[in-house]
């Protein structure tokens, strides 16, 4: 006999006995309570844990709909089965739509135990999915070395703090702190000890600050500190002084004393920026200045911006590169797994630099975002991608082209107009275009992102969430966005055959994505076994070196002629 914690919403004692009897015959040992009013049900739900709820349809003071909403309001996801003598088919359907899992007629109680078996199993599956979603979220939010919030989460905290209205007497300060010569520690003492040092620094920073202040690890040896409510005046320097004092005492790593110095850059809100992204960028510029001079803390000033390292060197050349056609696009096909059709390709930008050769986007996209060059770059990519897409069409091949959109472009209010113009220039239709955006782009300013995405989506353009799983979003939070597709980040896909955690994440993203009616694409598919595993999980599309490396347009066209993956041709 399996124990079953059973809550029975029922006014008749006799009917309760019949129900208990049916459960026992089905192999269950119910520990039960019977309730027949909203008050008593609420009290029982709060008092202990339950496995399942049975409810009569109508009772003198209560009914199944009210019981259902009570259950929902209490935040519990328990199987809810209506057991009734009176319910008609139509009302049963309404009840199921309202969230009941099953209904059983009182004169057909032999169906009860099998229904319980099934609903308990389903509830278990739902629980596991929720946990997987939680895990994805947690992993995406915390830095594994220090257990502090990571850069993404830090950005979110900053955004949240900005929304909290402030009085004129208060400012918000964002500090970026970079440890000096940390690389030496890593090189001489090894990574494990380097990590220990980072953890200890994190702990010390945390211990100096108020609980309402935020400490995050932004990556490498960079920490971010957010002081959301700072009185104007001398407060800031007091805090900075305290931070520096606390770092003075050497850190003990396996008995070895290590002295740490740090460069701190500060930017203030509203003085130096009006949004989270700019605030962060300005704090970083100030930090770079601190690193290059003898002062250990620099507060941002607009003059610094002119000398920021991103502005120098490569960026000056990038502008010319866009104008002189030194950029090029590679295309990587996206294949539909079930049919082996190639239905689209992702456009990936490269820079053919006269001295450094072919530069990958990692080398210049971030800096381009910081300097505003990302807009002309993005427009160039869009025009070229649509043009090539039309060239394919002229050869009778239908390809939907995916273009990566940077966070900064997404927040440009003119984006929809610009895209409409590019579509018109290329005589392309919106259905030929998919825009890939990352989760972090949405986090920066969710309201603006939603508005822009809605406009784009209404135009008929597909929206895809790129690198899913690496950012902050849980699927639940993109539910209300007009999204058509999610791309599971390659870091999960590449190792899914050997790493159980990755496999679990891939599986649950596919399931949850499908539950939301989204297409799910796996990127980074590097071998046949992975493709087979994805096919079994019902993943819709795949992209990766196993299918094809990214190639220039002509090479893509010859590949399409020779491969077993079939393009969609004019009929």
The structure tokens listed for 11 are 């006014």
Sign of CA dihedral 121, 127, 129, 131: negative
Of ligand C2E, Mg ion, none, which one sits near residue 202, judging by CB under 5 to 8 A according to partner kind?
A: none
By the rule CB under 6 A, 332 interacts with ligand C2E:
yes
49 close to 94: Cβ distance less than 8 angstroms: no
By the rule CB under 6 A, 550 interacts with ligand C2E:
yes
The structure tokens listed for 438 are 């990352």
Phi, psi (rounded to 5 degrees) for 308: -65, 145
Q: Shortest CA distance to 281 belongs to which of 366, 405, 190?
A: 366
**Which segments within 14-150 are labelled E, that is strand?**
28-35, 52-55, 58-59, 62-63, 80-84, 102-105
Q: Any idea what DSSP says for residue 149?
A: B
Q: Any idea what DSSP says for residue 250?
A: P
CB of 211 to Mg ion, least distance (A): 36
Of Mg ion, ligand C2E, none, which one sits near residue 178, judging by CB under 5 to 8 A according to partner kind?
A: none
Q: Which of 152, 404, 440, 508 binds Mg ion (CB under 5 A)?
A: 404
CB of 464 to Mg ion, least distance (A): 8
**Which segments within 135-248 are labelled E, that is strand?**
170-179, 214-219, 222-231
223 close to 205: Cβ distance less than 8 angstroms: yes
- By beta-carbon proximity to Mg ion, the closer residue of 51 and 466 is 466
CB of 533 to Mg ion, least distance (A): 19
Q: Which of 445, 466, 502, 540 binds ligand C2E (CB under 6 A)?
A: 466
The answer to whether the peptide bond before residue 551 is cis (omega within 30 degrees of 0) is: no
Q: How many CA atoms lie within 13 A of 234 on its CB side?
A: 3
CB of 274 to ligand C2E, least distance (A): 23
By the rule CB under 5 A, 178 interacts with Mg ion:
no
Of ligand C2E, Mg ion, none, which one sits near residue 485, judging by CB under 5 to 8 A according to partner kind?
A: none
CB of 365 to ligand C2E, least distance (A): 5
**Which segments within 454-532 are labelled E, that is strand?**
462-468, 485-488, 519-523
CB of 494 to ligand C2E, least distance (A): 6
The structure tokens listed for 477 are 């939070």
Q: Which of 140, 236, 318, 381 binds ligand C2E (CB under 6 A)?
A: 381
By the rule CB under 6 A, 545 interacts with ligand C2E:
yes
By the rule CB under 6 A, 430 interacts with ligand C2E:
no
- By beta-carbon proximity to ligand C2E, the closer residue of 213 and 369 is 369
Of ligand C2E, Mg ion, none, which one sits near residue 545, judging by CB under 5 to 8 A according to partner kind?
A: ligand C2E
CA–CA dist 397, 59 (Å, integer): 64
> What DSSP line would sit under 82-114, residue for residue?
EEESS--HHHHHHHHHTT--EEEEGGGGGGHHH
Q: Which of 344, 416, 544, 567 binds ligand C2E (CB under 6 A)?
A: 544
- By beta-carbon proximity to ligand C2E, the closer residue of 199 and 330 is 330
Number of residues that bind Mg ion (CB under 5 A): 5
Sign of CA dihedral 141, 143, 148, 153: negative
Number of residues that bind ligand C2E (CB under 6 A): 23
310 close to 277: Cβ distance less than 8 angstroms: no
By the rule CB under 6 A, 524 interacts with ligand C2E:
yes
By the rule CB under 6 A, 490 interacts with ligand C2E:
yes
Q: Which stretch binds ligand C2E (CB under 6 A): 225-233, 278-286, 393-401, 517-525?
A: 517-525
Q: Any idea what DSSP says for residue 540?
A: -
By the rule CB under 6 A, 158 interacts with ligand C2E:
no
CB of 486 to ligand C2E, least distance (A): 12
Give the H or E element holding residue 343: strand 341-353
Burial class (CB in 10 A: 0-12, 13-18, 19+), 409: buried
Q: Which stretch binds Mg ion (CB under 5 A): 193-201, 322-330, 463-471, 553-561?
A: 463-471
By the rule CB under 5 A, 439 interacts with Mg ion:
no
> What DSSP line would sit under 367-395, residue for residue?
HHHHHTTHHHHHHHHHHHHHHHHHHHHHT
CA–CA dist 313, 359 (Å, integer): 14
- By beta-carbon proximity to Mg ion, the closer residue of 310 and 436 is 436
By the rule CB under 6 A, 406 interacts with ligand C2E:
yes
- By beta-carbon proximity to ligand C2E, the closer residue of 30 and 469 is 469
- By beta-carbon proximity to Mg ion, the closer residue of 467 and 511 is 467
By the rule CB under 5 A, 436 interacts with Mg ion:
yes
By the rule CB under 6 A, 299 interacts with ligand C2E:
no
* Residues at the interface with Mg ion (CB under 5 A): 404, 436, 466-467, 523
* Residues at the interface with ligand C2E (CB under 6 A): 332, 348-349, 360-362, 365, 378, 381, 404, 406, 436, 466-467, 490, 494, 523-526, 544-545, 550
């Amino acid at each position: 006999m399996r124990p079953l914690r059973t809550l029975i919403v029922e006014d008749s004692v006799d009917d309760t006995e019949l129900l208990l009897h049916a459960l026992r015959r089905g192999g269950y040992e119910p520990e039960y309570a019977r309730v027949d009013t909203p008050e008593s049900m609420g009290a029982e739900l709060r008092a202990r844990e339950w496995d399942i709820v049975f409810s009569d349809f109508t009772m003198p003071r209560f009914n199944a709909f009210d019981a259902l909403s009570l259950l929902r309001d209490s935040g519990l996801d328990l199987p809810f089965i209506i057991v009734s003598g009176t319910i008609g088919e139509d009302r049963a359907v309404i009840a199921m739509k309202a969230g009941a899992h099953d209904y059983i007629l009182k004169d057909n109680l032999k169906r009860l135990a099998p229904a319980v078996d099934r609903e308990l199993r389903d509830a278990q599956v739902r629980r596991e999915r929720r946990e997987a979603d939680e895990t994805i979220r947690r992993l995406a939010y915390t830095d594994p070395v220090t257990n502090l919030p990571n850069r993404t989460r830090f950005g979110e905290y900053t955004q949240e703090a900005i929304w909290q209205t402030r009085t004129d007497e208060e400012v918000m300060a964002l500090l970026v702190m970079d440890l000096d010569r940390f690389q030496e520690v890593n090189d001489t003492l090894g990574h494990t000890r380097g990590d220990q040092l980072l953890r200890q620094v994190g702990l010390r920073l945390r211990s100096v600050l108020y609980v309402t202040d935020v400490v995050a690890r932004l990556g490498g040896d960079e920490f971010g500190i957010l002081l959301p409510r700072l009185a104007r005046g001398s407060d800031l320097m007091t805090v900075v002084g305290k931070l520096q004092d606390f770092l003075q005492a050497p850190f003990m790593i396996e008995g070895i004393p290590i002295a740490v110095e740090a460069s701190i850059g500060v930017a203030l809100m509203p003085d130096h920026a009006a949004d989270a992204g700019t605030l962060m960028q300005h704090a970083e510029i100030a930090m770079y200045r601190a690193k290059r001079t003898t002062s250990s803390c620099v507060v941002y000033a607009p003059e610094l911006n002119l000398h920021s390292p991103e502005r120098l060197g490569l960026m000056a050349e990038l502008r010319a590169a866009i104008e002189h056609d030194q950029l090029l696009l590679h295309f990587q096909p996206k294949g539909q797994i079930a049919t082996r059709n190639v239905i689209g390709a992702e456009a990936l930008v490269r820079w053919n630099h006269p001295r450094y050769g072919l530069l990958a986007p990692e080398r210049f996209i971030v800096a381009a975002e910081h300097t505003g060059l990302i807009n002309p770059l993005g427009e160039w990519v869009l025009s070229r991608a649509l043009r090539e897409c039309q060239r394919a069409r002229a050869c009778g091949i239908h390809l939907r082209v995916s273009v990566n959109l940077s966070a900064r472009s997404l927040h440009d209010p003119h984006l929809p107009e610009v895209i409409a113009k590019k579509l018109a220039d290329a005589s392309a239709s919106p259905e030929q275009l998919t825009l890939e955006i990352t989760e972090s782009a949405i986090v920066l300013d969710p309201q603006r992102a939603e508005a822009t995405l809605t406009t784009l989506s209404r135009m008929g353009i597909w929206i895809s969430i790129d690198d899913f799983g690496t950012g902050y979003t849980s699927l639940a939070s993109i539910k209300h966005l007009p999204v058509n597709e999610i791309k599971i980040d390659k870091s999960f896909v590449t190792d899914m055959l050997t790493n159980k955690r990755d496999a679990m994440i891939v599986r649950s993203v596919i399931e949850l994505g499908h539950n939301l009616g989204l297409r799910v694409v796996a990127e980074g598919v590097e071998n046949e076994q992975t493709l087979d595993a994805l096919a079994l999980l019902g993943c819709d599309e795949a992209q990766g070196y196993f299918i094809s490396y990214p190639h220039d347009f002509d090479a893509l066209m010859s590949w399409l002629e020779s491969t077993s993956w079939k393009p969609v041709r004019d009929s």
